[in-house]
Chain A
Amino acid sequence: MELYMSLAIGVLFAVGVYLILSKSLLRIILGTSLLTHGVHLLLLTMSRPKKGAPPLLGEHAKSYVDPLPQALILTSIVISFGVTSFFFVLAYKAYQKLGTDDMEQLKGDQDE
């Protein structure tokens, strides 16, 4: 189980890094969101998801899954959600004002 999760996370990281290294700004933002998906799955995997009930006391189960990583993931999701939406709006604004989404043209040596 953990092995397959690790493989999936590895693929997400690889694709995310590949997209971040590309020229277009939208691909870069997609790359960052894939990276955050990967890292959230990593948090889940590292808590060793054995079989157990959902962390609700009403379940009256013998064993529960670890609730702490789920809280951490939830926190991290909303943070990355906020940052990603800011990043999207920033990219939109930059496209309007600078007229390009090509990172090669955003070097900006001309005014220094």
Chain B
Amino acid sequence: MNNLIVFPLLIPLCTAVLLIFLNGRLALQRWISMFGVLLCAASAAVMVYQVGHRGIQTLQMGGWMAPYGIVFVADMLAALLVLTTSVVAAACLLYAFRTIGEQRERHYFYPFFHFLLAGVSGSFLTGDLFNLFVCFEVLLIASYALIVLGGTKRQLRETLKYILINIVSSTLFVAAVAYLYGVVGTLNMAHLSVRVAEAGQGGMLNVIAVLFLIVFALKAGLFLFFWLPGSYSAPPAAVSALFGALLTKVGLYAIIRVFTLIFYHDAGVAHDLIGWMAASTMILGGIGAIAFSDIYRILNYNVVISVGFIAFGIAVASRDALDGAVFYLLHDMVAKALMFMLGGMIIQAAGTSRLQEMGGMIKRYPLLGWMFFIVALALVGIPPLSGFPGKLLMVRGGLADHEYALTAIGLASSFLVLYSMMRIFIQAFFGEEKSDPQPQLPPGKGTVYSAVGLCVLIVLLGIGSEWVYSFVSQASDALVHPSVYIDAVLKE
């Protein structure tokens, strides 16, 4: 029992409720929301330390023992993801202070921001399948509000589609939970794993596993990503940075958790399917990333490619591949947030999102240009930066498992990422100056601090990868050996 592990859920929740009452007092709201996020990050850091030294921490809510009550479980994967979430959220918040605009701030932007964080942290930490559904809904409802806040025509239109897709996928989630409950009669993840192992993962459970895969693939944008490019280009940059960094990753985390803890017995069906989905996601995302000349679209398809790449690690599911997938997941959360922030700054500076109408911005914004260059290299996986160790481990795992085609597609997708990002870099920053010499608003100082902070983090994650790897390998220990997780939850 460790009460600390509910704090990353509790702190954003309390902050959000407090902020509702402070509506209109903007300066106070900003201070309190920054304080809340930093407090959340501190508690997550302590959690990582505790999990590192004392193993998996659990909290049985209300003192009811594991299969009967709701249990919160912090293994290393969940703890690392919560820490990364709060760090990325702090950067997005700092970015939002300068860019989001007073009108949105007056209409409860910060409470929605914190409700989203509460939902994300809750999804990472929960050990109960229906509670996972509820946390998903908390973050989804907050994301509906954030995506439509401001109410431009484009936002209204894209929110209609986003909300419809998510209602359908949530309905399927409840249906999948109903079927699973009907077959094994429990909802606690550790207990589910035991029951599924006893029953043997036969035809019925395979069908349910595939249904779960469809649900989480819809949330994560794995193969079923048709809603993503439109929806993520509607909200302002601070919000799409938050979405690109966190929301798809929650779906990926759910896939990792469900398919390493519960449905890992019959690797033939679900894992092959994940492999096919990963391959087609990387290919289709790559085509999308090089097809468009609109910055929003290019960045959104880059989100899709990385989702496919992480799913490739999950499909191989060997020790190396899972190490790589976890490492890449952490890197990708930071890098995607930074990518959207810089994209927003480029669009703001140029006054347009079309590449054809940009050019020569390196003279006026050298820092912005070189930061974009660094994040592009990090996304591709150039050695000193953070994308490299994860990619290397996943490729090594793929080759060791003789998944040559998947590995080749993974490597080829890196080239497409490189091409699409370099196209933005070259067309926007070099050549003749085409854009308006007087931009509407130069990127403010606060936005630069948050971008520089994330940039430094990317470099440090890459240089200190040996140190980070010690945490990552502990995280994938629990993924490779589900019994570690089960023992921690059920035998306390």
Contact = CB atoms under 8 A, between A and B. Distances in A.
B171 A93 contact: no
B160 A79 contact: no
Contacts of A11: none
A26 to B, nearest CB: 12
Interface residues of B, number: 35
B50 to A, nearest CB: 31
A82 B138 CA distance: 11
A95 B24 CA distance: 29
Contacts of B163: 83, 86-87, 90
B320 interface: no
Interface in B178-198: 178-179, 181-182, 187
Interface stretch (B37-45, B149-157, B480-488): B149-157
Contact of A106 (B160, B171, B179): B160
A76 B181 CA distance: 15
B144 A20 contact: no
A90 B160 contact: yes
Contacts of B297: 112
Contact of B178 (A39, A97, A98): A39
A79 B159 contact: no
A90 B159 contact: yes
Contact of B167 (A32, A94, A97): A32
Interface in B239-271: none
Interface string A19-63: 010000100100010011011101101111000000000000000
A87 B157 contact: no
Contacts of A72: 130, 174, 177, 181
Contacts of B100: none
Contact of A20 (B134, B157, B159, B168): B168
B134 A28 contact: no
Contacts of A47: 181-182
Contact of B144 (A25, A28, A36, A86): A86
Contact of A43 (B161, B178, B233): B178
**Chain B facing A: main interface SS:** helix
Contacts of A28: 164
Nearest to B167: A32
B347 to A, nearest CB: 13
Interface residues of A, number: 36
Contacts of A38: 171
Nearest to B138: A79
Contacts of A25: 160
Contacts of B160: 25, 90-91, 94, 106
B182 A48 contact: yes
Contact of A32 (B168, B181, B233): B168
A112 B298 CA distance: 13
A47 B175 CA distance: 12
A108 B233 CA distance: 12
Interface centre among B130, B178, B233 (most CB of A within 10 A): B178
B294 interface: yes
Nearest to B159: A90
Interface string B93-104: 000000000000
A112 to B, nearest CB: 6
Interface in A4-27: 20, 25
B294 A94 contact: no
B174 A39 contact: yes
Contacts of B233: 112
A46 B167 contact: no
Kindly list the 9 A-B residue pairs having the minimum CB-CB distance in the complex, ordered from nearest: A46-B182, A43-B178, A46-B178, A94-B156, A39-B174, A42-B178, A32-B167, A35-B171, A79-B137
Interface of B: 130, 133-134, 137, 141, 144-145, 148, 151, 153-154, 156-161, 163-164, 167-168, 170-171, 174-175, 177-179, 181-182, 187, 230, 233, 294, 297
8 contacts: A40-B174, A46-B179, A46-B181, A47-B181, A72-B177, A83-B137, A86-B141, A90-B160
